[in-house]
Structure 1
Amino acid sequence: MSFVVDHVQRIDSQLDRLQLSRYQQSLSESPDLQTTSEDTRDSSESSESEVENGHLLERIVKLQAAIKAISTLSSARAALPTDALLGLLEGAELLHTSDGSGQGNPGPNPGSSSAQELDLQWLLVSKAATQAYGLVLNLLLDQTIPLSSDIYYWNEVLGSTRWTGLYTIQTSPIRLWVWTTDIYQDARNKIQQVNSTTEGAEDADVKTSSLSERWRRFYGLVKESVRERSLSDVQSKIMTPFTRCQMDAKAKVKHLKRLREMSASGLGVLMDEGMMFDAKDDGSISSKAASSDDSEEWKMVVSKSVTLMESILRHITALEMRPADFEETVFMNVDEENGHSQPSEDSSTPVGLALRLQQILDKQVPGHMAASERLVADYGRPSRLVRYWLPGLVLFLSSSTILRILLNRRAEIRQWIEDLGATTIDFWYNWVVEPVKKVIGTIRHDKDSEIALMSRESLQGDKASLERMVVDFAIDNPNNESGTRLTEAEIAEVRVKVKEGDLTPVLRAYEKDLKKPIWGTLRGDFIRALLIQIQKTKVDVEVALGGIDNLLKSQELVFGFVGLTPGILVCLGTGRWLSGIFSGRRYRSQSERQTSMIRPLRNIDRILSAATPANNGMLSYKEHGLLLCEVHVLRQRAHRILPGAIYNEFLEEIHDLVDLRTGIDRQTRVVDRIRWAYSRWLS
Structure 2
Amino acid sequence: MSFVTDHLSKVDGQLDALQLQKQPSTPSSPDLRSTSDEPRGTSDASGTSERSFDLSQILKIQAAIKTLSTASSSRVLLHPDTIWATLNQTLEASVACSEDSRVHPKQLQELEWLLVSKAATQTYGVILNALLEQTIPLSNEIGYWDQILGSYRYTGLYTVQTSPIRLWYWANDVYGDAWQRLQHIRSAGGDEDEEEERGLSISDRWRQFYGLVKDSARDRSLVDVQSRFLSPLTKSRLEARSKRSHLRRLREMSASGLGILMDEGMIFDADEEAPVSAKDQSNTKEEWQSVVAKSVSLMEMVLQNIHTLELGANEFEETVFMSVDDDSQLSQLDSIEKQSVPRVVRLGSRLQQILRIHIPMHIATSTELTTEYGRPSRLVRYWLPGLALFLSSGTLLRILFNRKAEILTWIRDIGTTSIDFWNNWIVEPSKKVIRTIQHDKDSEIAIMSRESLKGDRDSLERMVIDFACDNANTSTGPLTDSEISMVRAKVREGDLTPVLRAYEKDLRKPFMGTIRGDLIRALLIQVQKTKVDVELAVSGIDALLKSQELVFGFVGLAPGMLVFLSVSRWLGDVLAGRKGKVQGREQGSMIRVLRNVDRILSSSTPSENGMLSYKDHGMLLCEVHILRQKAQRVLPGEIYSEFLEDVSNLVDLRAGVECQARVVERLRWAYSKWLR
Specify which of 325, 345, 353 is matched with residue 351 of structure 1. Answer: 345
Tell me the distance in 2 between the aligned counterparts of 1:380 and 1:35.
63
**1:613 correspondence with 2:606:** yes
Query: Residue by residue, what CA displacement relative to the aligned partner does 1:508-560 show, whole Å, maximum 9, x if unpaired?
Result: 75488579967679524663464245234323323332332332245577558
**82 and 359 in structure 1: CA distance in 2 versus 1, 3 angstrom threshold:** same
SS of equivalent residue, structure 1 residue 672: helix
SS of the residue corresponding to residue 589 of structure 1 reads: helix
State the SS of the aligned residue for 1:262.
helix
Which amino acid counterpart does residue 461 of structure 1 have in structure 2? Answer: S
Equivalent residue letter for 2:285:
S
Distance in 1 (CA, whole Å) between partners of 2:220 and 2:564 is: 69
1:7 alignment counterpart:
7
Q: Equivalences for 1:66-465 in 2 at 5 Å?
A: 66-92=64-90, 94-98=91-95, 107=103, 114-199=105-190, 205=196, 208-280=199-271, 282=273, 290=281, 294-337=284-327, 340=331, 343=334, 349-442=343-436, 444-448=438-442, 450-454=443-447, 457-458=449-450, 460-465=451-456
Alignment CA distance shift 1:560-1:96 (3 Å) = farther
Any conservation in 2 of the 1:5–1:134 contact (CA below 8 Å)?
yes
Query: Could you tell me how far apart the structure 2 residues matched to 1:573 and 1:469 are?
Result: 60
User: What SS class does the counterpart of residue 73 from structure 1 fall into?
Assistant: coil
SS in 2 for 1:382: coil
Quote the offset at 1:283 in angstroms: 7.1
Instruction: Kindly provide the amino acid, as one letter, of the partner of residue 296 in structure 1.
Output: E
Distance in 2 (alpha carbons) for counterparts of 1:189 and 1:211: 19
| Structure-2 change in CA distance of 1:361 and 1:629 (3 Å) | same
Structure 1 pair 550/212, CA: closer, same or farther in 2 (3 Å)? closer
Q: How do residues 405-554 of structure 1 correspond to structure 2 at under 5 angstroms?
A: 405-442=399-436, 444-448=438-442, 450-454=443-447, 457-458=449-450, 460-477=451-468, 485-496=478-489, 502-506=493-497, 510=500, 523-524=519-520, 527-528=523-524, 530-553=526-549
- Residues 245-268 of structure 1: per-residue CA shift (max 9 Å, x gap): 111111111111111111111111
The residue that corresponds to 2:17 in the other structure is 17
**What is the Cα deviation at residue 168 of structure 1?**
1.0
Displacement, 1:286?
10
TM-score between both structures, scaled by the size of structure 1: 0.87
Among 631, 637, 649, the alignment partner of 1:656 is: 649
Separation of aligned partners in 1, 2:209 and 2:16: 76
Contact 1:268 1:624 in 2 (8 A): yes
Change (3 A) 1:560 1:290: farther
Residue 589 of structure 1 pairs with residue 582 of structure 2: yes
**Gap runs ≥5 in structure 2:** none
In the other structure, the counterpart of 1:48 is 46
Q: In structure 2, do the counterparts of structure 1 residues 333 and 575 end up closer, same or farther at CA, with 3 Å as the change threshold?
A: same
Find the residue that maps to 2:115 and give its secondary structure: helix
Partners of 2:540 and 2:225 in 1: CA distance:
97
Instruction: Measure how far apart 1:278 and its partner are.
Output: 1.1
| CA distance, structure 1, for counterparts of residue 477 and residue 594 of structure 2 | 102
Partner SS state of residue 155, structure 2? helix
* 1:491 CA drift (Å): 3.9
Q: Percent identity?
A: 46
Cα distance in 2 between the residues matched to 1:163 and 1:417: 40
Task: Give the unaligned 5+ runs of structure 1.
Answer: none
CA contact (8 A) 1:264 1:625 kept: yes
Moved more, 599-608 or 312-321: 599-608
The answer (yes or no) to whether the contact 1:18–1:285 under 8 Å persists in 2 is no
| Structure 1 residues 469-517: Cα deviation after superposition (integer angstroms, max 9, x where no partner) | 1453255237999865544344445555655xx21335x7548857996
- Which stretch of the first structure deviates more once superposed, 408-417 or 67-76? 408-417
Q: SS of the residue aligned with 2:310?
A: coil
AA aligned to 1:192 is Q
- Aligned-partner Cα distance in 1 for 2:274–2:216: 71
Query: Aligned partners of 2:507 and 2:347: how far apart in 1?
Result: 128
Instruction: Answer yes or no: is the 8 Å Cα contact 1:289–1:297 preserved in 2.
Output: no
Against the structure 1 CA distance between its residues 180 and 168, is the aligned structure 2 distance closer, same or farther, given a 3 Å change threshold? same
Q: Would the aligned equivalents of 2:32 and 2:51 in 1 still touch at CA under 8 Å?
A: no
8 A Cα contact 1:145 1:629, kept in partner:
yes
Q: CA RMSD in A?
A: 3.5
Instruction: Kindly provide the CA deviation profile for residues 361-387 of structure 1, in whole angstroms up to 9, marking residues without a partner as x.
Output: 111111111111111111111101101
- In the TM superposition, residue 613 of structure 1 has moved relative to its aligned partner by 2.2
C-alpha separation between the residues in 1 aligned to 2:426 and 2:53?
Answer: 76
**Cα distance in 2 between the residues matched to 1:587 and 1:176:** 47
How many residues get paired? Answer: 659
Q: Is the 8 A contact 1:277 1:285 kept in 2?
A: no
**Counterpart amino acid of 2:460?**
M
Change (3 A) 1:515 1:164: farther
Structure 2 letter corresponding to 1:300: S
Q: What do residues 121-157 of structure 1 show as CA deviations (whole Å, max 9, x unaligned)?
A: 1111111111111111111111111111111111112
Structure 1 residue 403: deviation in Å?
Answer: 1.5
Deviates more, 1:358-367 or 1:191-200: 191-200
2:252–2:313: 8 Å Cα contact kept in structure 1?
yes
Gap change, CA 1:578 and 1:341, over 3 Å in 2:
closer
Match of 1:671 in 2: 664
Q: Which amino acid aligns with 1:604?
A: V
Is the contact between residue 439 and residue 560 of structure 1 (CA under 8 Å) also seen in structure 2? no
Letter in 2 for 1:680: K
Contact 1:2–1:635 (Cα < 8 Å) also in 2: yes
Q: Is the 8 A contact 2:436 2:550 kept in 1?
A: no
Q: Which amino acid is 1:547 matched to?
A: A
Q: Matches of 1:18 and 1:222 in 2, distance apart?
A: 74
Instruction: Select between 311-320 and 426-435 the one with higher mean Cα deviation.
Output: 426-435
Residue 605 (structure 1) shift: 2.2
The CA deviation string for residues 196-229 of structure 1, in whole angstroms up to 9 with x for no partner, is: 2223776765565554444333222222211111
